[in-house]
Amino acid sequence: MVSSKSGAKTSPQFWRPATRMVHGGTVRSGFGETSEALFLTQGFVYDSAEAAEARFKGEEDGFIYSRYANPTVDMFEKRMCLLEGAEDARAMASGMAAVSAAIGCQVKAGDHIVAARALFGSCRWVVETLMPRYGVECTLVDGRNLDEWKAAMRPQTKVLFLESPTNPTLELCDIAAIADIAHEGNARLVVDNVFATPILQKPLELGADIVIYSTTKHVDGQGRCLGGIVLGSREWIDENLHDYFRHTGPSMSPFNAWVMLKGLETLPLRVRQQTETAALIADQLAQEKGVSRVLYPGRADHPQADIARKQMAGGSTLVAFELAGGKKAAFAFENALSIIRISNNLGDAKSLVTHPATTTHKNLAPEARAQLGISDGLVRLSVGLEDSADLMEDIAAAMAAANLATA
């Protein structure tokens, strides 16, 4: 163990999570800056032709080109590895760049993917529409049903893909059990962990092989920059993602990586606070007349409360609920809110409300929406950092307006 004279542990792997999020991965330049330096540069210069040759041969460590790696992006990747307990990572320009790279880098024509049906819309397009164009077949299953996962496995199955909690109905997949199914079939489990956040759920510890984030959401946490990241073992990244990433170019901008680094410093605080407020709001909504169903993984009445307890360290920063008055009530509710804003985004310091059936999930056929439980009365709320009492008053007033509109 690396300890200083005072006895303090000086090596990041011995730090507790909050300390890792403030200091992990930091490399200071010769100026000794306090805050992480922003290396806004495309390329790097070499002291000699021999040095350039050695760098390209891999005989000498150092940066070559920011599509491959950049010091600021590198700090962000290292800090995320410390948070997730991963050996290695590649930061990307958006969550979707991360999802398509994580899947695309490890399949070829003839391979097969099994994915949960309840996926973020663009993720579903990648596995259901894009991959078959390249000869990679995909079977969609009910992510809650382990028998469906097992039955979908084929000798050609290479990747299992899921998100948990799902968007927008906050259903859960049993990550440990699905990882076992993947490994029995020599396949890998990829988990999109955006809705859980790295604070509330650790897929790698549960047996998943690869974890993906849209860092656009809670990691930035203040609605500024797009970003994504893929984390996994060094071996998997070396063999699958390394070349794909270098040559297809989904890299994260150093500026965005710098914003994300600052976001990580406050991530544990924000997620804890947002989860606490979301739990209060879920309980409030369950008492409201006009609300027919509340979906919150932290509540005892969640259909999979046992799985939530098994794999999550807290409820969620999101709450989903159904208004008995359907679309009319949902629209009246949204329009009557004054602090909570209407948006399709989530994970922001600002509370945001979404009507999935007419926005994020409008491209699904009505039958597909019904299959996923996305009714016209379903509302998704991403809880921010405002005072919980203000949010609860805003919700109570809007609920009264919704009930009036549908009375």
Ligand X SMILES: *Cc1c(COP(=O)(O)O)cnc(C)c1O
Q: Which residues bind ligand X (CB under 6 A)?
A: 94-96, 99, 120, 122-123, 163, 167, 192, 194-195, 214, 216-217, 226, 228
Contact at 8 Å (CB) between 21 and 268? yes
Would you say 106 or 193 has its CB closer to ligand X? 193
Would you say 122 or 273 has its CB closer to ligand X? 122
In DSSP terms, 380 is beta-bridged to 320, 354
Taking each helix axis from N to C terminus, what angle separates 254-287 and 71-84, rounded to the nearest 10 degrees? 40
Would you say 114 or 332 has its CB closer to ligand X? 114
* C-alpha torsion sign, points 255, 258, 264, 270: negative
C-alpha distances (whole Å) from 139 to each of 30, 174, 295, 347 are 53, 18, 26, 30
| Alpha helices (runs of H) in 105-237, residue ranges in sequence order | 121-125, 131-133, 146-152, 175-184, 197-200, 203-206, 234-236
Q: Which residue is nearest to ligand X (CB)?
A: 95
d(CA 352, CA 202): 25
Would you say 153 or 308 has its CB closer to ligand X? 308
Nearest in space to 211 (alpha carbons), one of 196, 222, 225: 196
Would you say 192 or 322 has its CB closer to ligand X? 192
In DSSP terms, 229 is beta-bridged to 91, 213
Torsion of CA 54, 235, 256, 360, to 10 degrees: 150
d(CA 18, CA 156): 42
d(CA 269, CA 153): 40
Residue 91: CB minimum distance to ligand X, A: 12
Residue 133: CB minimum distance to ligand X, A: 20
Contact at 8 Å (CB) between 80 and 168? no
Nearest in space to 297 (alpha carbons), one of 310, 288, 284, 289: 310
- Among left, alpha and beta (phi > 0; psi -120 to 50; other), residue 200 is alpha
